[in-house]
Structure formats: structure tokens, C-alpha cells
Structure 1
């Protein structure tokens, strides 16, 4: 029994109790490291706040974000409209909530799609190697050579912007970075003993990639995913600012910011400041969380 417990990780005779103990220890280390990082706590707090604000806020603060009301246009902040109204009478606070839903949905969905596809692409290219690796990475290099914003402008100008289309367009440009990162990790991981053992035991390439390569590159994948969300939100805001975002009456923070710039010279600061601050705080929150997760997945922290 003692020999079983002390057997190396991954051996067939390793008891489930030992595996569970290591998993709990790793989880406790992860939570402890995050709680020790004040910026991580602040970032997570910002993310949770805006998720509740955007998706739960409209339940308690009811506004009409479909029908225009020109009689209430350009009203400054008041008891009736805490953040004022825009040029067609939409309540700015309510629109900030609804617009945040679109920005967060597009950002998170695009980041997930880009991370999953980029991870698979990079893992396959790095594991197989040879001609396939060269061909797949030349595709990545070619797309990286095209300026991201220029590529997004072309795609957005060809198709009518919707939430689904923006998710596809942003993820199309975002998968390149995780593909390169995971490919680099895979080149190192494929020479490890446990991956070589899979080959010698007759395991398939798909099993080696899905069961051994990708799980051991999870640190790089998760950290990059948090930054992908922040980048996607900024890209959506940039497209909307250039007039290629979601068409009204739907909203996102980018087109709110774009609309506000037309009136900022008139002193209507409430039309540009709230969406600008919201974009900045959400991006900062995801960046803080990404920096903390990068520390968590450092080998020296997992072994302390």
C-alpha cells in the first residue's frame, strides 16, 4: 500500500486517493495564490461587478432601449436619468447595461472560440511536425502579417454586422496568437517521457494531443484566454467606433462611445465618459486576472 501511494504520478497502480489529494493540494495552492495577489482580487471583483451590472441590472432598472423619445434627448444626469440620455432619448444607464451585454458576450465567446481552435491548431502542428507543421504555421504567419484591424474592417464591411458575425470575425483574427503559443509548448512537451510512452504503447496521435499535450499546456492556454477576452472587447469597441458595429437599436459600448464623440464638443460628457470608463475597467480587470493566473501556473508556485 505504501509503495502504491509513493509511486510516480501517472503509473497504473497509483491509488485514486493520492490523485485526489494532489488535485486538492493544487486547487488550494491556486486559490491561495490568487487571494494573495491584490490585483487579482481587484480584477476578479471588476469582472464580477460588470457581469452583475450588465445581466442582472436590467432586471431591477427597467428602461426602453428600443423606442426613441426625442423629447428627452440630450438630458443631463438627474434623478430620473442618473447618467442622462443620448441624442435620441435613450437612458444612458440602461443603455450602458444593455451595451455591456453585447460587448461581454462577443468578447467572451470570441475568446473561447479563438482559444479552442488556436489550441488545436498549434498542438497538432507542433506534435506532428515536419511538412504539416511548416504548412500550418505558414498559414498563421501569413495571417499575422496582415494588420488585425485592417482584416477586421474588410470582413465587417463585406457582411452585415450582427452579434454572431462579430464573434466569428473577432475570433478569426484572435486564434493566431494561441496557435503560436501552444505550438511552442507542444514542441517541448512532445519529447517528454509520458508522451513517448503513449507512442510506444500504440496510442494514437489524437490521444497524445488531447489527453497529454493540451492538459499540460493548460497554464499557457488559460492565461492567454483571459487576455483574449480583453483584446476582443477592445477590437469590438474599435469596430463599433468606426461605424462597423451592431446596428441600432442594439448597442455595445463601442458604438455608445462613437455616438458620444459627436456631441462631446457640446459639453455632453455623460455620453462618452460612462462607456469609456466601462471599457477601460473591464479590460483592466481581465488583464489583472491574466497576470495573476500566469503566476499561479508557474511551476515554482505549484511546488512551493
Structure 2
């Protein structure tokens, strides 16, 4: 063949090979750019990526673990103190009347790992000065209720004393706090006729049968029909006087009013100053 034609064929093949490789590279580059764009659209724009929300408190505080109790902050001190008082109250209500020291108390509430500072503060200051805690032998503690009650006989005795003194009833919350096994004691049939509950069973009174009176039903209806809302004692007294009824007067003992007299200022009596004489040099004077 003609050598000129061979040269042209070789040049044509070289151009074909070079153009094919360039097309492949462009295709590869275009596929990569499409993948990058897809990844950007799925993740969002750069610089505006959302960060996962994290809690501003440590996990120990959120979970309420016992690791934060070892710290000596004011919050932890009173947290331990409230748990101790709740424990001592629950023990008293269950009839456990033997005292415990500070180590035994912390063992009961599962707080043996409390720091020494909190332990000394509890044993020397907080429990010693708490009105709900009774100190025994300076190292052991018991719960101190409102009333010292041990059974239904003690409860009846207290209610009778309140009735005789005229001091009124007793709150049911104070009785439930002071009387061990209160619910079982109050359910006893012998107490149903001896106790009167007033105000949705919140105040307890002794049922004094000697003070009971039989009142006619008509009088009871008249009593309940009279409305005294918005009237004070002075207006009620004026109404009785107009109807010709003399109201009862308070005949109780009244303390005399002691008038405090102002103290008089003490006057200082000074001795009159006499004229001084020079008798010791009388013989030297010239007349």
C-alpha cells in the first residue's frame, strides 16, 4: 500500500483513541458530581447542619443516682434530712419504738455513701435541733409525734381530757401521725360510739353522752330555717333586744387592766454650798 495512506490511517486511529478516553473521563466526572449533589441535598446545606439536642444537666442529676448525694451542697443536705424524717415517722407509725444511731439510719435509707461533712451535720446539728426528732443518749434518735399515744385507751383518755378542759377537738392528721397502726385502731367497733367526726372526718371529738339532749323536730327545723349569714354578733344582739329577748352576757372572769404608771425621775438633792472660811489664818488677818 501507499505509505502516505498508512500514515493517515495511523493518525486517524490515534485521534479516535484520544477522543474516546476524553468522553469516558467526562462521563465519570459527571456521575461523581451527581452523587455529591444528592449527598448534599440529603444532609442539607453546608454550615446549616442540625446538631443533635443534648440535655443541659448531667445524667446523674436526671436519673437521680446516688453519686450526687456524696457532694456537700445545701440541697443534698436537706434531701437526706427529709428522707430521714420520713423514715422515722414511718417507723413510729408501724410501732417500732427503739432508737437508731446515724449509721443505722443511713443504712435504712440506702445512703451509706454520704460524705462525712453531711453525716456530722446531721448528727450534731440537724437532728439535734429538729422538733420532730427526739434525742436519746446524745447519739440515738426517735420520732417525736404530736401526742404520745399507744392504743385506743390512750386516744379516748386524750379526747376526754380535751372535752373536760374545753380545748376542742383533735385533728385526724395529728392522731394518724401519733398513734401506731392508726387505721386498725380507729376501725375498732368500741370507738365508733365514743368518737364524733366533724368536717368530713378531719376533727375528732369525744362523744359525751351525758350532754346529749332530746330536741323536738319542729324546733330543729326552725333552728335550721333561720339564716344568719352576713350578720355579726352585734346585729344578732340588737335583733334579740327588739324581739324582747335578753341575750346572754359573758360572765367569765375578766382580768383587771393594769395601768402602768410612768416612773418619776429621781431628783438629785445637792447640799447647799456654804461660804468657805479661813479660820486657820485668822490671826494673820489685818483689820
Both structures adopt the same fold (TM-score exceeding 0.5): no
Greater Rg, structure 1 or structure 2?
2
- Which structure has more strand as a fraction of its residues? 2
TM-score by length of 2: 0.20
What TM-score comes out, normalization by structure 1 length? 0.19
Q: Name the structure where helix makes up a greater proportion of residues.
A: 1
